Amino acid sequence: MPQQEHRKGGNYLVPALSISAAALLLLPVFALDRWFRSDDYLLLFHQGGIAPWRLWEFFGAEQVFFWRPLQAWAVSLLWHLAGWNPVPYNAVLMAAYSAGAATGARLLRRLLGEEPAAKPAAAVALFVFALFGVNLAMPVVWVSLLGQNLGLALALWALGDWALAAGEEQRRGPWRALLPALLMTAAILCKESVAALLPLFPIASWARRRPWAAHTPAERWSAAIPAAAALAALALSSLAKSAGVDVERAYALAAPTDVPLNALRMVNVLCHPFAGLAAAWPSQFSEWQLRSATTGVPFAALAVLGAGAWIARRDRAAAFALAWTVLGCFPAALYESHLNSRYLHAPAFGLAALAALIVVRGGARIRDRAPALAAAAFLAALAFLAVGAAQLRVLAWQHARIGFGRELIDYARAEPPGPGSPELWVLEGVGAAESNGGLGLSEAVRLATGADRVQVELAEFVDPATVARFEAAGWRVRVVPLGRTAGER
């Protein structure tokens, strides 16, 4: 009888978590019209000027921020199809993140093979990863991070296909064997830091209990393809011209002794019970929570990773998930001030898989209560849905406070720069701390109007000395009072 109850509970648990995860992943539908962020304008300006069919130009030396040719091509394609309409961009971001969640669940299920825990573990991992995406403001609505979504989805697909091959007795043909390597190469061309996950290929073979030597020569040699792509991406990112945006040099390397602590704090931000919901709380509480997650002792990370390490002693799938979490943290942990949630995309799946295995393995002792566990999980999923919806509303409200980008584009179209002298546009009443110091706003106006000689500055109030200096240099100065109607201007 208990065994039948467990089977019945398990039948409820998997669909309940899967449906809840799908609902969480679909929540951004209500925010599809959210406007672009500051550095998005730089990508749209520089990549939108290249026709998407001129593929070779995206592999050139001049890039924005980093050498990510497939991300650049995707942005160009979206610009030529959608222009200033944010809905298609956000829909692609949401679809790519959802694809990553689905391919991640598929990978974990393949790692576990025929185990009874395969389906429940995959469902829990899917739910946790979807929860990270909503409550930690992961790259769901941010065009500049499209490469993260696409890169992770492709990497998970590649590793899932590799894990399937490692569990098959029949050898694949050479072209079929090349598929994981080609997918991983494409992932690296979307986001160079995905290369940190390359060691997971032999670890996946070990988790599936297949020695490296048992793979076909084509499979073994194909591993050199993404490795070469990783080296090329790193080399070209350091040598590429940054299209007038000197951002890479602003990334200061952390001290070697700080790297492990940075990685722990990255995991801590994911694990911290309130850090992900900080924006939904009063500002003082929000700031305290984020400080405690990023600068305090990483108790939550130590607890979760410690539990995962304990299970990983005898569980190869847990060891794989633990390795994924550590490797995913590594690129951002090398730098100072990289504890923002947008850098937690890569380790998020590893931690989701690790949490799933902790729940499933640890729940073996209470399997006779599985129906109650399934009901509790379903109620918890509904609660998280409500919190996630509230979080999206808060994020949309916060973004509206700096949503003057849309208004600026409308203004530029209605009153474009005049011919001849260059123009300085001063956004009156907008502090320099907003919109990332005005990053990308000049490019946004140039893109919207076709004018080449426009510079946009932010100012709480107009400084007459600054205006006089620019006018003496031959510039026309225009004060743009955003928020007023056209008649009030």
Confidence of residue 70 (pLDDT cuts 50, 70, 90): very high
Higher per-residue confidence, 308 vs 367: 308
pLDDT digits (tens, 9 = 90+) for 387-436: 655 555 555 545 544 557 888 888 888 888 888 788 888 887 766 655 56
- Per the confidence metrics, is the pTM higher than 0.75? yes
Q: How far apart are the first and last CA of the chain?
A: 77
Reading the block at residue 320, the tokens are 């794989």
More confident residue, 12 or 260: 260
For residue 366, what are the CA distances in angstroms to 7, 8, 127, 369, 370?
Answer: 13, 14, 21, 6, 7
pLDDT in tens, 8-19: 445 666 787 788
Tokens 């499209």: give the residue: 146
Q: Find out whether 113 and 44 touch, Cβ atoms under 8 Å.
A: no
The pLDDT value given to residue 407: 84
**Mean pLDDT, residues 451-472:** 82
Look at 248 and 450; give whichever has higher pLDDT: 450
pLDDT at 171 over 50: yes
The closest of 119, 212, 200 to 157, measured between CA atoms, is 200
Mean pLDDT of 58-74: 83
- C-alpha distances in angstroms, 350 versus 18, 216, 267, 393? 18, 27, 10, 28
For residue 163, the model assigns a pLDDT of 83
Are residues 476 and 418 in contact, defined by beta-carbon separation less than 8 angstroms? yes
Query: Of the segments 62-66, 156-160, 241-245, 280-284, which one has the largest average pLDDT value?
Result: 156-160
Over range 183-189, report the average pLDDT: 90
